[in-house]
Amino acid sequence: MIRKERLVKLLGEGRVFTNEPMSKHITFKVGGPADYYLLPKNVETLVAVINYLKEEDYPYYIIGKGSDLLVLDEGYPGAIISTYGGFDTIRIEGMTVYAEAGALMSKVAASARDASIAGFEFASGIPGTIGGGAIMNAGAYGGELKDLMGKATVLTKDGRIVTYTRDQFFLGYRCSSFFDKEEIVLSVELTGHPGDPKEIGDRMKELNGRRKEKQPLEYPSAGSTFKRPEGYFAGKLIQDAGLSGYRVGGAQVSEKHNGFVINTGDATAADILTVIEDVKRIVYEKFQVKLEPEVKILRVDRNR
Protein backbone atom coordinates (compact mmCIF):
# COMPACT_ATOMS: atom_id res chain seq x y z
CA MET A 1 0.00 0.00 0.00
CA ILE A 2 1.53 3.28 -1.15
CA ARG A 3 1.68 6.01 1.49
CA LYS A 4 1.95 9.66 0.53
CA GLU A 5 3.96 10.36 3.68
CA ARG A 6 6.65 7.93 2.53
CA LEU A 7 6.78 9.53 -0.91
CA VAL A 8 7.16 12.99 0.64
CA LYS A 9 9.93 11.70 2.87
CA LEU A 10 11.77 10.32 -0.18
CA LEU A 11 11.23 13.28 -2.51
CA GLY A 12 10.68 16.30 -0.28
CA GLU A 13 7.87 18.78 0.17
CA GLY A 14 6.27 20.18 -2.97
CA ARG A 15 7.36 17.22 -5.10
CA VAL A 16 4.44 14.84 -4.53
CA PHE A 17 1.02 15.55 -6.06
CA THR A 18 -2.11 13.42 -5.86
CA ASN A 19 -4.95 13.14 -8.37
CA GLU A 20 -2.93 15.38 -10.67
CA PRO A 21 -4.48 16.23 -14.10
CA MET A 22 -2.03 15.15 -16.76
CA SER A 23 -3.45 17.79 -19.08
CA LYS A 24 -1.16 20.16 -17.15
CA HIS A 25 1.93 18.15 -17.99
CA ILE A 26 1.75 16.91 -21.58
CA THR A 27 1.98 19.11 -24.65
CA PHE A 28 -1.33 17.86 -26.09
CA LYS A 29 -2.99 19.53 -23.04
CA VAL A 30 -5.33 16.57 -22.51
CA GLY A 31 -5.42 13.59 -20.18
CA GLY A 32 -7.05 12.55 -16.95
CA PRO A 33 -5.47 12.46 -13.49
CA ALA A 34 -2.58 10.37 -12.30
CA ASP A 35 -3.00 8.97 -8.80
CA TYR A 36 0.45 10.38 -8.05
CA TYR A 37 2.65 12.85 -9.93
CA LEU A 38 6.22 12.78 -8.63
CA LEU A 39 9.16 15.12 -9.19
CA PRO A 40 12.52 13.66 -8.13
CA LYS A 41 15.22 16.34 -7.81
CA ASN A 42 18.22 14.12 -8.55
CA VAL A 43 19.26 10.61 -9.53
CA GLU A 44 19.36 9.42 -5.92
CA THR A 45 15.74 10.38 -5.20
CA LEU A 46 14.62 8.95 -8.54
CA VAL A 47 16.21 5.59 -7.75
CA ALA A 48 14.82 5.64 -4.21
CA VAL A 49 11.24 6.30 -5.27
CA ILE A 50 11.36 3.69 -8.05
CA ASN A 51 12.67 1.11 -5.57
CA TYR A 52 9.81 1.96 -3.19
CA LEU A 53 7.19 1.65 -5.94
CA LYS A 54 8.65 -1.68 -7.04
CA GLU A 55 8.61 -2.96 -3.46
CA GLU A 56 4.89 -2.18 -3.31
CA ASP A 57 4.26 -3.55 -6.83
CA TYR A 58 2.81 -0.16 -7.74
CA PRO A 59 2.60 0.88 -11.41
CA TYR A 60 4.67 3.85 -12.57
CA TYR A 61 5.64 5.56 -15.79
CA ILE A 62 8.56 7.91 -16.49
CA ILE A 63 8.12 11.07 -18.57
CA GLY A 64 10.21 14.11 -19.43
CA LYS A 65 8.32 17.20 -20.54
CA GLY A 66 5.45 15.12 -21.95
CA SER A 67 6.09 16.29 -25.49
CA ASP A 68 5.62 12.93 -27.21
CA LEU A 69 2.87 11.40 -25.10
CA LEU A 70 -0.90 10.95 -25.03
CA VAL A 71 -2.48 10.20 -21.65
CA LEU A 72 -6.06 8.97 -21.97
CA ASP A 73 -9.06 10.68 -20.40
CA GLU A 74 -9.38 8.11 -17.61
CA GLY A 75 -5.93 9.08 -16.43
CA TYR A 76 -3.34 6.77 -14.94
CA PRO A 77 -3.96 4.58 -11.87
CA GLY A 78 -0.39 4.76 -10.65
CA ALA A 79 2.54 7.15 -10.37
CA ILE A 80 3.80 9.38 -13.15
CA ILE A 81 7.43 10.31 -12.48
CA SER A 82 8.75 13.36 -14.33
CA THR A 83 12.43 14.19 -14.76
CA TYR A 84 11.53 17.68 -16.01
CA GLY A 85 12.17 20.33 -13.40
CA GLY A 86 14.54 18.05 -11.56
CA PHE A 87 18.05 16.93 -12.43
CA ASP A 88 19.02 19.12 -15.37
CA THR A 89 22.75 19.84 -14.99
CA ILE A 90 24.60 20.74 -18.19
CA ARG A 91 28.40 20.62 -18.14
CA ILE A 92 30.87 21.17 -20.99
CA GLU A 93 34.36 19.78 -21.40
CA GLY A 94 36.07 20.52 -24.70
CA MET A 95 33.69 19.56 -27.48
CA THR A 96 31.63 17.28 -25.21
CA VAL A 97 28.38 18.30 -23.51
CA TYR A 98 27.32 16.33 -20.42
CA ALA A 99 23.58 16.67 -19.75
CA GLU A 100 21.31 15.13 -17.13
CA ALA A 101 17.99 13.67 -18.22
CA GLY A 102 15.83 16.61 -17.14
CA ALA A 103 17.73 19.19 -19.20
CA LEU A 104 15.70 20.65 -22.06
CA MET A 105 17.08 19.88 -25.50
CA SER A 106 16.78 23.57 -26.38
CA LYS A 107 18.98 24.50 -23.41
CA VAL A 108 21.53 21.83 -24.30
CA ALA A 109 21.70 23.26 -27.82
CA ALA A 110 22.03 26.82 -26.50
CA SER A 111 24.81 25.77 -24.12
CA ALA A 112 26.67 24.11 -26.99
CA ARG A 113 26.31 27.27 -29.10
CA ASP A 114 27.67 29.45 -26.31
CA ALA A 115 30.66 27.11 -26.00
CA SER A 116 31.36 27.30 -29.76
CA ILE A 117 30.25 23.71 -30.32
CA ALA A 118 28.40 22.97 -33.57
CA GLY A 119 26.21 20.00 -34.44
CA PHE A 120 23.40 20.64 -31.96
CA GLU A 121 21.47 23.14 -34.07
CA PHE A 122 18.71 20.70 -35.02
CA ALA A 123 17.83 20.24 -31.34
CA SER A 124 17.24 23.91 -30.58
CA GLY A 125 13.51 23.78 -31.34
CA ILE A 126 12.65 20.30 -30.06
CA PRO A 127 10.36 20.77 -27.03
CA GLY A 128 11.50 17.92 -24.84
CA THR A 129 14.14 16.78 -22.38
CA ILE A 130 17.40 15.14 -23.31
CA GLY A 131 16.40 11.96 -21.47
CA GLY A 132 13.22 11.58 -23.48
CA GLY A 133 15.09 12.59 -26.60
CA ALA A 134 17.63 9.82 -26.08
CA ILE A 135 14.90 7.23 -25.58
CA MET A 136 13.35 8.19 -28.92
CA ASN A 137 16.53 9.27 -30.74
CA ALA A 138 14.92 12.67 -31.29
CA GLY A 139 15.82 14.52 -34.45
CA ALA A 140 14.83 17.20 -36.93
CA TYR A 141 16.09 18.74 -40.16
CA GLY A 142 18.57 15.98 -40.89
CA GLY A 143 20.10 15.77 -37.41
CA GLU A 144 19.54 13.13 -34.73
CA LEU A 145 20.91 12.53 -31.25
CA LYS A 146 22.62 9.38 -32.51
CA ASP A 147 24.98 11.68 -34.45
CA LEU A 148 26.22 13.16 -31.16
CA MET A 149 25.77 10.64 -28.36
CA GLY A 150 28.91 8.86 -27.18
CA LYS A 151 27.85 7.67 -23.73
CA ALA A 152 24.63 7.15 -21.80
CA THR A 153 24.11 6.39 -18.14
CA VAL A 154 20.90 4.48 -17.46
CA LEU A 155 18.92 2.84 -14.71
CA THR A 156 18.33 -0.73 -15.84
CA LYS A 157 15.10 -2.65 -15.38
CA ASP A 158 16.71 -4.61 -12.53
CA GLY A 159 17.80 -1.46 -10.70
CA ARG A 160 21.46 -1.12 -11.69
CA ILE A 161 23.06 2.15 -12.81
CA VAL A 162 25.14 1.41 -15.90
CA THR A 163 27.13 3.63 -18.27
CA TYR A 164 27.14 2.47 -21.88
CA THR A 165 29.56 3.55 -24.58
CA ARG A 166 28.39 4.09 -28.16
CA ASP A 167 29.08 0.52 -29.24
CA GLN A 168 26.88 -0.81 -26.41
CA PHE A 169 23.57 0.82 -27.34
CA PHE A 170 21.45 1.20 -30.45
CA LEU A 171 19.75 4.33 -31.77
CA GLY A 172 17.52 4.09 -34.83
CA TYR A 173 14.72 6.09 -36.39
CA ARG A 174 12.64 7.16 -33.38
CA CYS A 175 13.72 4.08 -31.45
CA SER A 176 16.50 2.90 -29.16
CA SER A 177 17.78 -0.07 -27.21
CA PHE A 178 17.00 1.94 -24.05
CA PHE A 179 13.30 1.84 -24.91
CA ASP A 180 13.41 -1.81 -25.93
CA LYS A 181 15.06 -2.81 -22.64
CA GLU A 182 12.85 -0.51 -20.51
CA GLU A 183 15.86 1.44 -19.27
CA ILE A 184 15.64 4.97 -17.84
CA VAL A 185 18.19 7.39 -19.26
CA LEU A 186 19.80 9.37 -16.43
CA SER A 187 22.42 11.36 -18.36
CA VAL A 188 24.21 11.46 -21.70
CA GLU A 189 27.46 12.69 -23.19
CA LEU A 190 27.18 14.37 -26.58
CA THR A 191 30.12 15.45 -28.73
CA GLY A 192 29.99 18.08 -31.45
CA HIS A 193 32.65 19.91 -33.44
CA PRO A 194 34.15 23.42 -33.34
CA GLY A 195 32.00 26.19 -34.72
CA ASP A 196 31.42 29.93 -34.63
CA PRO A 197 28.73 30.93 -32.10
CA LYS A 198 27.21 33.51 -34.46
CA GLU A 199 27.00 31.05 -37.35
CA ILE A 200 25.55 28.41 -35.03
CA GLY A 201 23.00 30.92 -33.72
CA ASP A 202 22.06 31.98 -37.23
CA ARG A 203 21.49 28.36 -38.21
CA MET A 204 19.28 27.85 -35.15
CA LYS A 205 17.23 30.92 -36.07
CA GLU A 206 16.87 29.64 -39.62
CA LEU A 207 15.65 26.22 -38.51
CA ASN A 208 13.28 27.65 -35.90
CA GLY A 209 11.92 30.06 -38.50
CA ARG A 210 11.22 27.15 -40.84
CA ARG A 211 9.60 25.26 -37.99
CA LYS A 212 7.32 28.20 -37.15
CA GLU A 213 6.41 28.69 -40.80
CA LYS A 214 5.57 25.05 -41.55
CA GLN A 215 4.33 23.61 -38.26
CA PRO A 216 1.15 24.44 -36.26
CA LEU A 217 3.04 25.64 -33.19
CA GLU A 218 0.10 27.83 -32.16
CA TYR A 219 -1.87 24.70 -31.14
CA PRO A 220 -1.16 22.04 -28.53
CA SER A 221 0.21 18.89 -30.14
CA ALA A 222 2.88 16.25 -29.67
CA GLY A 223 4.85 17.28 -32.73
CA SER A 224 4.90 14.88 -35.66
CA THR A 225 2.17 12.38 -34.87
CA PHE A 226 3.34 9.60 -37.17
CA LYS A 227 6.70 8.09 -37.99
CA ARG A 228 7.90 8.43 -41.56
CA PRO A 229 7.03 5.17 -43.39
CA GLU A 230 9.85 3.82 -45.51
CA GLY A 231 9.69 5.32 -48.97
CA TYR A 232 6.93 7.81 -48.10
CA PHE A 233 6.16 10.95 -46.12
CA ALA A 234 3.34 10.63 -43.60
CA GLY A 235 2.02 14.14 -44.18
CA LYS A 236 1.83 13.65 -47.96
CA LEU A 237 -0.01 10.33 -47.58
CA ILE A 238 -2.50 11.95 -45.21
CA GLN A 239 -3.01 14.88 -47.60
CA ASP A 240 -3.45 12.59 -50.59
CA ALA A 241 -6.03 10.59 -48.61
CA GLY A 242 -8.12 13.76 -48.38
CA LEU A 243 -7.66 14.08 -44.62
CA SER A 244 -6.25 17.58 -44.34
CA GLY A 245 -8.39 19.28 -41.69
CA TYR A 246 -10.10 16.00 -40.74
CA ARG A 247 -11.71 16.58 -37.36
CA VAL A 248 -13.26 14.68 -34.48
CA GLY A 249 -14.48 16.91 -31.65
CA GLY A 250 -11.64 19.27 -30.80
CA ALA A 251 -8.93 17.17 -32.45
CA GLN A 252 -7.91 17.88 -36.01
CA VAL A 253 -5.37 16.96 -38.67
CA SER A 254 -3.53 20.24 -39.06
CA GLU A 255 -4.14 21.97 -42.37
CA LYS A 256 -0.77 23.69 -41.99
CA HIS A 257 1.13 20.38 -41.69
CA ASN A 258 -0.87 17.21 -42.27
CA GLY A 259 1.58 15.15 -40.24
CA PHE A 260 0.38 16.84 -37.04
CA VAL A 261 -2.76 16.07 -35.06
CA ILE A 262 -3.60 19.15 -33.01
CA ASN A 263 -5.84 20.11 -30.12
CA THR A 264 -7.85 23.06 -31.41
CA GLY A 265 -8.76 24.04 -27.86
CA ASP A 266 -11.33 21.66 -26.42
CA ALA A 267 -10.15 18.22 -27.55
CA THR A 268 -10.31 15.18 -25.34
CA ALA A 269 -7.74 12.41 -25.47
CA ALA A 270 -10.47 10.23 -26.98
CA ASP A 271 -10.90 12.76 -29.82
CA ILE A 272 -7.16 12.70 -30.55
CA LEU A 273 -6.96 8.92 -30.39
CA THR A 274 -9.95 8.61 -32.76
CA VAL A 275 -8.32 10.93 -35.30
CA ILE A 276 -5.07 8.93 -35.10
CA GLU A 277 -6.87 5.62 -35.60
CA ASP A 278 -9.07 6.99 -38.41
CA VAL A 279 -6.04 8.38 -40.24
CA LYS A 280 -4.21 5.06 -39.92
CA ARG A 281 -7.22 3.14 -41.24
CA ILE A 282 -8.03 5.43 -44.16
CA VAL A 283 -4.41 5.77 -45.33
CA TYR A 284 -4.06 2.00 -45.29
CA GLU A 285 -7.32 1.51 -47.18
CA LYS A 286 -6.22 3.94 -49.89
CA PHE A 287 -2.51 3.20 -50.20
CA GLN A 288 -1.82 -0.06 -48.27
CA VAL A 289 0.75 1.81 -46.17
CA LYS A 290 0.70 1.32 -42.42
CA LEU A 291 1.27 4.50 -40.44
CA GLU A 292 2.86 4.01 -37.03
CA PRO A 293 2.28 6.67 -34.37
CA GLU A 294 5.39 8.46 -33.16
CA VAL A 295 3.38 9.53 -30.13
CA LYS A 296 3.45 7.13 -27.20
CA ILE A 297 -0.07 6.30 -25.93
CA LEU A 298 -0.19 5.56 -22.21
CA ARG A 299 -2.79 2.83 -22.04
CA VAL A 300 -4.19 1.64 -18.73
CA ASP A 301 -4.27 -2.01 -17.71
CA ARG A 302 -7.44 -2.21 -15.63
CA ASN A 303 -6.93 -5.93 -15.05
CA ARG A 304 -3.61 -5.49 -13.29
Active site residues: 174, 224, 294
By CB atoms closer than 10 A (0-12, 13-18, 19+), residue 233 is middle
| Cα 274 to the center of its chain, rounded Å | 21
What are the residues whose beta carbons fall under 8 Å from the beta carbon of 255, sequence distance 6 or more? 244, 245
What are the residues whose beta carbons fall under 8 Å from the beta carbon of 210, sequence distance 6 or more? 141
What are the residues whose beta carbons fall under 8 Å from the beta carbon of 57, sequence distance 6 or more? none
What are the residues whose beta carbons fall under 8 Å from the beta carbon of 42, sequence distance 6 or more? 86, 87
Q: What share of the chain is helix, strand, coil (3-state, %, to 5)?
A: 35, 25, 40
Per the CB < 8 A criterion, the answer to whether 37 and 80 are in contact is yes
| Nearest CA-CA partner of 183 in 154, 149, 152 | 154
Helices (H), the chain: 4-11, 43-55, 105-114, 130-136, 177-180, 197-214, 234-240, 269-287
What are the residues whose beta carbons fall under 8 Å from the beta carbon of 246, sequence distance 6 or more? 252, 253, 275, 278, 279
Distance between terminal CA atoms of the chain? 15
Q: How far apart are CA 40 and CA 46, in angstroms?
A: 5
Per the CB < 8 A criterion, the answer to whether 216 and 262 are in contact is yes
Q: How far apart are CA 31 and CA 128, in angstroms?
A: 18
